[in-house]
Chains A and B, each alone.
Chain A
Amino acid sequence: MKNLSNIIAVILLLLTSSNIFAENKTLIIYTYDSFAAEWGPGPSIKSAFEKNCDCTIEFIATSNAATLLTKIQLEGTQSNADIVLGFDQNFLIDAEKTNLFIKHAIDPELNIDWKNDYFTPYDYGQFAFIYDDTKLLNPPKSMAELIDRDDIKIIVQDPRTSTPGLGLLLWVKSIYGKDSPNAWQSLNDKIITYTPGWSEAYGMFLENEADMVLSYTTSPAYHLMYEETNKYKAASFAEGHYMQIEVAGILKSSQNFKLAQKFMNFISSNEFQSEIPTKNIMYPVTNIELPEAYKQLTQSNNKLLIRPELVHASKKNWINEWLNSQ
């Protein structure tokens, strides 16, 4: 028995030491799969980063951003991941409270207001209702108008299972505050249906099931860039548009803190940011030159955002409030 344990010890030592001396480190990044997919920004970001480090990036993707945090929580301190990239500011406090993340200690220059010791943003978007301008000729110009109109049918996502759905809930909350239940009651007449996620809603909209669908102000850019059609537009609302800021953070359990930090700094580089508008269909967080298609988009200067702390504290109540105003 003693011999056997000695042999195992030697093998383990060899294995670990070979890791220590290996020059090529692997940085494991958990993300959602449209980021890591071959059509997403992942592959070109990987090769750009690998050029300047003696390392390999490995993306491990979950099917959506919400599962990402659950996965990290389930794995706990035993996670192999170094970096998690992909959840948004509404899950920020939940993520911080897991106590699994470590302060990144970087200070990038960004085009949005941001201060957080654990997470740094890599892109942002604004929620908007998308319509086909060959079919809907007079789109509403504000949330108030949408609520008052009775000739418009929309499809939205369920706030319990989808990030844009939660986005709409907070959007309404940030405009109407205590009056939200009333706003929801009027809004419900327009809502054909709720879907479990963004994909079903957008798919149904493209099948002409509704006049408008809840998505992002940047959605028309996809159709411009990849389908060469400009008929899809984002309705610009006077009250402003609710923000979604997507962030990345380093895990405490990471064995490669320095390398992870290098990647966190790389996030605000031009090489990283220039992949975002074309491949993640979101806005970059630095002032880089935007593609042609983005110049045709209307971006609202009134960026609505409820503090993550307040969202964290009130999310359950607000969802119940929404349930009760049906």
Chain B
Amino acid sequence: MVIIIITLIAPLLTILLYYDFNSILSSYQPYYLNVIKFSIFQAIISSIVSVCMGILFAHLLFKHSYIHGINSLVNFLSFTFILPTIIIVLGIISIYGNSGYLNYILEFFDLNIYGILGIIIAHVLLNFPFVTRIIFQSLQDISHDEWSLAKHNGLEGFALFKTIEWPAIKKTLPTILTMVFILCFMSFAPVIIFGGGPNFSTLEISIYQALLFEYDFTKAINLAFIQIIICLVFLLIFLFQNRISFFTLSENRASVTNTYSIRYLPDYLLLLLFIMFAFSPLVTIILDGIQSPKLLKIAFSKSFLIALTYTFIISVASGLLSIILTLGLLSFGKNIFIKNSLKRFVVFETYIYLLLVFSPVLISSGFFILFRQYLGILNPGLWIVILINAVFTIPLSYSLIKSSFYKIFFEQDFLSQSLGLKGLTRFILIEWPVIKIPVITAFVVTSVISTSDLVIISFFGTNNFSTLSLLMFRLMGSYQIQESQAVALLFLIYCFIYFVISYKLLTKLKIRIN
């Protein structure tokens, strides 16, 4: 808790030193009112579409999880969410853009990727696979007993979905909707690029402009403040819908008893369509990367190896730190829940999701001012990048772990207490085995997201300190598109290996008590 508070409060206070209280209203312009209206509108549509598609996709994946490789597929679903937005954006353009592979579909309907439609497609593509990932997780937490009971009563199809799956999904919805809403509300590159003009804009763009182009801290803070207030309102609306209810006591995880069958053909086709849609932005990364004549040259260059090393360090350190902080918060939340009312618990969760609302540009600037004297001497840049990323990814790891964590806690609380298990022992014996998979997922997701970041690192990166995504962006910025396509592919391969190794190693990890 202390770390998180310091990470946020210290830079904010530093920035407030630069705040000119005499001009609180000076930066107000009618333009921002339109920006705000539009941001809210597109964020609502984007999050609803992402969530609906996520539910359907997760349901199908879960129903057919007997299909070989489905579980690994689910793990890789977060790829579009965690890769640098700019690669995904360019990927989307090369598929759905004016000369994209699938542009004829849009053309057929006389549509164009630029404009509100483009913004929504981009946001859905960026977010729905991750939404699917979280919902799939919550479906896995349905106990075996419930399934067998439902089957025993002859529930099938929609009735089965409604009575068994929907309650499990419903619990995660407020969180997911809030998260996706905030992410879309604060989105930067996709909105400028697909918006087609400044009429479609978000406040984050203006914050960026005020900080980096106008050096106008007062304006940046004013806008950030408006942004925080709006998100807070939505957070509270969503989170107060949160009803926490837990199911029957059971150790058994659900396992689906379906097998391959011809009558599922429509399902299979739909699944295939979803998979193709979810992974479509990655197609170009792979194709362009393989075709890049610079692939081998770049893979052995000094700048690539430096970037790879730092990417690895940041991945592991941010991922671990994020998980440790999240687990701390989870047990803190558990205590609040036991001792206090549901209301307090909701306030606590609001704080966590509020982390999403702090503009990374603003926080990074604050940190930069704080540490400016030391930059270049001790290279604190690396540690700051790790710390900021770890804290900013807490809401993601929290949302990935929480359903399993709270469920197992409430299910096993009685048992643990009767056995006299406490603290770490209890955590290792009771909770760890159940939350292991979500924790690993959260670890890999936060790891890679931390290295995809381009905003925080742009403040602290130097020639000898970069990450793969920064290198890719640098290459793009100096005409070396082919080189940057090669790095994008190598980054994708890095993520893939990181995912596979983390799952393989960590699932085998058994903590023993002597």
**Interface positions of A (Cβ within 8 A of B):** 28, 33-34, 36-40, 59-64, 66-67, 69-71, 73-75, 78-80, 94, 153, 158, 160-161, 188, 191-200, 202-204, 206-210, 219, 222-223, 226, 281, 316, 320, 322-324, 326
Contacts and interface: CB of A to CB of B under 8 A. Distances in A.
Contact of B481 (A63, A206, A326): A206
Given A204-B193, A222-B479, A316-B214, 16 more contacts: A33-B463, A36-B463, A37-B463, A38-B301, A60-B462, A62-B459, A73-B215, A94-B215, A161-B209, A193-B197, A199-B476, A199-B477, A200-B89, A207-B90, A219-B479, A326-B197
A38 B301 CA distance: 10
B302 interface: yes
A26 B373 CA distance: 17
A70 B372 contact: no
A280 to B, nearest CB: 9
12 contacts: A28-B376, A37-B463, A38-B302, A38-B303, A60-B376, A63-B473, A67-B459, A161-B192, A194-B196, A195-B193, A199-B473, A204-B97
Nearest to B473: A199
A193 B119 CA distance: 12
Nearest to B461: A63
Contacts of B303: 37-38
Interface in B463-510: 463, 470, 473-474, 476-481, 484
A73 B368 CA distance: 11
Given A63-B458, A70-B212, A196-B192, A78 B373 contact: yes
Interface stretch (B56-64, B198-206, B249-257, B329-337): B198-206
A207 B365 contact: no
B514 interface: no
Contacts of B197: 188, 191, 193-194, 326
A34 B477 contact: yes
B194 interface: yes
A200 B86 contact: yes
A207 B93 contact: yes
Contact of B97 (A33, A80, A209): A209
Contacts, number: 153
B206 A160 contact: yes
Nearest to B477: A199
Nearest to A191: B197
Contacts of A192: 98, 114, 196
B393 interface: no
Given A67-B458, A74-B368, A209 B99 contact: yes
A34 B478 contact: yes
A199 B475 CA distance: 9
Interface string B438-471: 0000000000000000100111011100000010
Contact of A326 (B199, B205, B376): B199
A34 B192 contact: no
Contacts of B90: 200, 203-204, 207
A193 B195 contact: yes
B213 A66 contact: yes
A161 B474 contact: no
B271 interface: no
Interface in B67-119: 86, 89-90, 93-94, 97-99, 114
Given A66-B213, A203-B90, A61 B97 contact: no
Contacts of A71: 368, 459
B462 A37 contact: no
A242 B506 CA distance: 57
A73 B213 CA distance: 12
Nearest to B454: A63
B458 A209 contact: no
Given A63-B461, A63-B470, A74-B365, A80 B376 contact: yes
Contacts of B457: 63
Contact of B99 (A39, A207, A281, A316): A207
A266 B226 CA distance: 49
B481 A203 contact: yes
Contacts of A40: 478
